[in-house]
Amino acid sequence: MRSPLIVELMGVASGTLRGKSAVRPYWEKGLTAYPSLQLELHCVLIGVDAIALYYRSTPKSRMVAEVLRFGDDGKIVCRSALYA
């Protein structure tokens, strides 16, 4: 998982977390920090082994693109978030 918010919330300079045990605390901290989080979906782009979600994230009201790449088993193997 890659995101600038990993740097902000977790203090991980690379912005990258690997594995469920590393990602879980990130989501816990993020949902605690933004309890009124709402997403306004604008577009879904579909690729061969990936999708991209383009949405507005509130309360900071910024545009976000998330790319989710899937493995052969259909599970997400990589997620990258890009913020405007």
Q: Please provide the average confidence, as pLDDT, over all residues in the chain.
A: 93
Judge whether 56 and 62 are in contact, CB under 8 Å. Answer: yes
Instruction: Report how far residue 18's alpha carbon sits from residue 40's, in angstroms, rounded to the nearest whole number.
Output: 27
Instruction: Report how far residue 13's alpha carbon sits from residue 45's, in angstroms, rounded to the nearest whole number.
Output: 29
Domains annotated on the chain, with CATH: 1-35 (no CATH), 37-84 (3.10.450.50)
State residue 77's pLDDT score: 95
Judge whether 58 and 38 are in contact, CB under 8 Å. Answer: yes
With bands split at pLDDT 50, 70 and 90, how would you rate the model's confidence at 37? Answer: confident
State residue 36's pLDDT score: 85
With bands split at pLDDT 50, 70 and 90, how would you rate the model's confidence at 59? Answer: low
DSSP 8-state code for residue 53: E
Instruction: Report how far residue 83's alpha carbon sits from residue 57's, in angstroms, rounded to the nearest whole number.
Output: 9
